[in-house]
Structure 1
Amino acid sequence: MEYLHVQSIEVGNEVTTVYLNQEVSERSANDLKDGERILVDSDQFAFLYIIEDHKGFRGIRFDEQVWPELKKGYESETTFYLKLNESTRLTLAQFNDEMTFLLENIQGNGNYGEAFELAVKSVFE
């Protein structure tokens, strides 16, 4: 799976905008759609929001350093948008629901590893 790394997150009154560390070409951006789920990389401490196109899946990688802003957007219950390039943004429609499910599931669940669970707890509780 190809990963696109989140550089920063900007939380507004009604929207949270996710900025990548690189732009996606206009052509590629037009083919992308919301995968509507979040996976976890518990070894590297990241949440991976899935987007997809005709070639397969890509993971939008929310590494630990952006979790504080991620938490602000999540707790504000804003709509999350991924800025792909200057003219294209993609709605991450299931972001809040998926985060709610994951945060509940991670708590006390040894499958994610104790270190990951503690890192999530330290930011999101």
Structure 2
Amino acid sequence: MEHILTVTETKVKYQTLYLIPIEDWPEKEWATLEDGGRMLADSDALAFVYTLESPESFVQLRMPKSIWPALKEAYEQELGVCVKGPDVLDLPLFPAELAFILDNVPGNGNYGSFMVEAVEEAFQLT
């Protein structure tokens, strides 16, 4: 089964970007989540989607354009990244995945012109 967490808030503390989703998550299920290590682009929704995994499901950690300035800061300052739920889940693979997608989206028509333009503008890439 696949679930969705939408990040609507961020906070930087101790050289770490904390992604804070709007949805609540049961503590017992949260404890089973791990870093899924994949960053995807949702061109229709202008969002990045990072995967979290548990033994029984995948979770989409959706990051809409509104939080991209925080992602840009984390990228530029090489901050660690965590997601805050009932507990904090460290995402050690997130920075490399973000760097990979930021290297691939600019100028790449496969992502659609709106997504390419939005990423180039938000992250000042060309």
Q: TM-score, normalised by structure 1?
A: 0.93
2:90 corresponds to: 91
Task: Output aligned runs, 1:1-125, within 5 Å.
Answer: 1-85=2-86, 88-125=87-124
Partners of 1:46 and 1:61 in 2: CA distance: 6
Partners of 1:50 and 1:118 in 2: CA distance: 24
Q: By how many angstroms is 1:53 displaced?
A: 0.8
SS at match of 1:31: coil
Partners of 2:64 and 2:93 in 1: CA distance: 19
SS at match of 1:96: helix
Q: By how many angstroms is 1:59 displaced?
A: 0.7
Write out per-residue CA displacement over residues 68-120 of structure 1, whole angstroms, 9 at most, x where no aligned residue: 112112211111010012xx111111111111110111111110001110000
Show structure 1 runs of 4+ deviating over 4 A.
none
- What value does the CA root-mean-square deviation take over the aligned residues? 1.1
Aligned residues: percent identity? 34
| Structure 1 unaligned blocks of 5 or more | none
Q: By how many angstroms is 1:33 displaced?
A: 0.8
Partners of 1:72 and 1:122 in 2: CA distance: 14
Partners of 1:93 and 1:25 in 2: CA distance: 23
Partners of 2:27 and 2:3 in 1: CA distance: 17
Contact 2:35–2:91 (Cα < 8 Å) also in 1: yes
Paired residues in the alignment total 123
